[in-house]
Structure formats: structure tokens, C-alpha cells
Chain A
């Protein structure tokens, strides 16, 4: 392998590509972390609630670490990046921003004077959607992370080596839970199937090609999205087949997130996630 790049010797022409890659990683992490954390306290059973929340916190930690790498490259500080940017500045895929509620859920929710998001989640939340998303996401996350462990951009490679163990647990949890639900009851099978069909076009958005793909691959910083997607499919296809989930190869992927084109779901998620920070951005925590 050629010489590693660090903060000091990263070629100027590669910097925008690395910055874009880090935004994609960070924004995916913070959004899946935020969406999964919405279940904290009302997860399906106590133990799973705690495990799911703990993994959500892991993803928040990964996001903070990626934002720190961005800050080192001259972007704003991590809190500002997480809490002061608007939806069109985010480079996450649309997949991670989706709410934990089926698209055909009733529009009306009871007002329990709690908060509207939580009231709606308690009335219409579908944990099957959250779990199937988590399964598809962590498999992509681990494929991406293991490729980046040998990235030529050394600060990123060493971070990815650090979070390998956490992601290993995320995949163990996801694979075991999918197997149990798929071989569980008619209800559990139907619910993961329904969620899978809804989520699949969005999941493909994880691998939306970007203008920087070839430059990053040529510089040995990150494989192309097409390569990562192939590896992801090689991992998940046998597991999905075992779970009785059939992939519709003809669906149109939900692209747009990587260039800042998002659905209302991201605007809603950010409104909740950024609300407290924006009340008083100069407050010390």
C-alpha cells in the first residue's frame, strides 16, 4: 500500500471527496441513532429496549467521532454540525431518516400531552420497521466499516478499527433477531415481510453513487458504492433467503439523500433532534 494520508499530507484535490465521505458516514450514523432512540422506554420488551437504545447510543458516538474528523479538516465543531444544519445540508440516505411508523398508519394520533412524536409512536409505531431497517443498515455499516479499516486516510482507518467490536455486536443482534422473527409466528413473519417490502427501495439508497466515488476508490480511501453494495448483497442475500424474504430486483432505489434531497421524514427528525440545542445554542452542557 502506498503512503498513508493524514491531516497534513491529504492532497488538496482529494479533500472535498474525503469531507463528503465523512458527512455521509456521520449523517447516516446520527440519523439511525436518533430514529432508533425514539423507542427508548417504549421498546417491545425491557431487555430489547435497553439493547436497542444502547446500540442507538453507539451510533451517536460514531457520529460524534466522524464529526470530529470533519472538524479537524476545517468544518465546524461537532455540535454545530449536528444541531445547526438544515435538512438540505445533510448527506444521509433517505433510508435512515424514515420514521418508525408504517406509511399506511392513520394520520390522526391521540394527544397525550407528552410530545407529538412520542404520542404518535406509542399509537402507531411499528418496531418491525425499525428492526428490519436496523438489520439492513448494520450489514451495510459493517461492510463499509471493514473496508474503511484499511482506508488510506489514516484518521478514518484508525477510527473504523476502534468501532469494529461495537458493530460486530450490532450484526450479531440483527442476525439472531431476524432469524428468530422469521422462524417465529405468522404474525412476526408477516410483519418483517411487510416492513422489508416497504424498506427495500430506501435501503438501496445507502449505496447511491456520488461524484466522488471514483476519486476515493482510485486513492484507496473508500471502495466505490457499487463495490460496497455487491459485498452487502453477498452478505445479506443468504440471510434474507433463510428469512423467506424475496428481493424485488426491479424496484427503483430511493436516491437523493447523498446530494441533500430529502423527504419530510428528515425535516421532522431534525425538528425533534435539534429542538433543545437550538433553544440556546451558546449554552454550556
Chain B
């Protein structure tokens, strides 16, 4: 079905400073300025928010779902994972007490 509405902007929402922006949905808008105004009411009127990003959906480059097999883990590669290292544990301990 053809989308006859305004362009889509993806909306990313940040709950507190320092936290990552999280994708929460999208809005239709004529431009980025309007998208921000609309996103504020659609996605931040009930929950905590300190910052919003909007990104034109057309500007996002994504992997095709037909290529999803590139993400599959064929063999056991736990040796690649970092959770066994002392440094990781130390970093985690610091991260729990203060914002990195």
C-alpha cells in the first residue's frame, strides 16, 4: 500500500542525561522541526524524558531481512565474549556506582 502521508521520522527518547537514546516509535511530519514537536507529545507526555532525537526514516540504511543469516552463530565462539575478564568485572563494579 502506498503511504500518502508525510515522511516518517523515527523517534529516539532519552530518559535521563547520560543514558542511551532508545527508539520508541515514529511520527509523520513535514520536516525535522515539526517531527520534534510531534514526537514530544506522542512519546514524552507521560514518561520521563530529557532529550529527543528524530531521524528521517529515509536516511537510515538497514540490513535486508533476507540477509538475516549473517547474524547467526554457526559454532561455539564463547572465547570471543568478554565477560570472563577481570577488567570487565572491574568496569562493571565502577559502572554500578557512578556514571561512566
CB pair A47–B40 under 8 Å, yes or no, is: no
Whether B5 sits at the interface, judged by CB under 8 Å, is yes
Nearest Cβ on chain A to B22's Cβ, whole angstroms: 20
Whether A79 sits at the interface, judged by CB under 8 Å, is no
Stretch at the interface among A63-71, A172-180, A195-203: A172-180
Contact of A176 among B5, B34, B41 (CB under 8 A): B34
Interface residues in B45-71 (C-beta closer than 8 Å to A): 45
Nearest Cβ on chain B to A113's Cβ, whole angstroms: 30
Interface of A is mostly: helix
Contact of A51 among B5, B30, B41 (CB under 8 A): B41
Most chain B beta carbons < 10 A, residue from A45, A51, A173:
A51
Most chain B beta carbons < 10 A, residue from A45, A47, A176:
A47
CA of A180 to CA of B28, assembled, Å: 15
Nearest Cβ on chain B to A6's Cβ, whole angstroms: 31
CB pair A48–B38 under 8 Å, yes or no, is: yes
Contact of A45 among B28, B37, B40, B45 (CB under 8 A): B28
Q: Mark A173-208, 1 if CB is under 8 A from B, else 0.
A: 100110010000000000000000000000000000
Determine the interface band of chain A, counting residues with CB < 8 A from chain B: 10 to 19
CA of A177 to CA of B33, assembled, Å: 10
Closest to A184 in B: B30
CB pair B28–A50 under 8 Å, yes or no, is: no
CA of A177 to CA of B41, assembled, Å: 15
Nearest Cβ on chain B to A192's Cβ, whole angstroms: 16
Chain A residues proximal to chain B, CB less than 8 Å: 45-48, 50-51, 54-55, 169, 172-173, 176-177, 180
Would you give 17 A-B contacts (Cβ < 8 Å), ordered by A?
Answer: A45-B5, A45-B6, A45-B28, A47-B27, A47-B28, A47-B29, A47-B38, A47-B41, A50-B38, A50-B41, A51-B41, A54-B45, A55-B41, A173-B37, A176-B34, A176-B37, A180-B34
Leading 8 A-B pairs by shortest Cβ distance: A51-B41, A47-B38, A54-B41, A47-B27, A54-B45, A173-B37, A50-B41, A176-B33
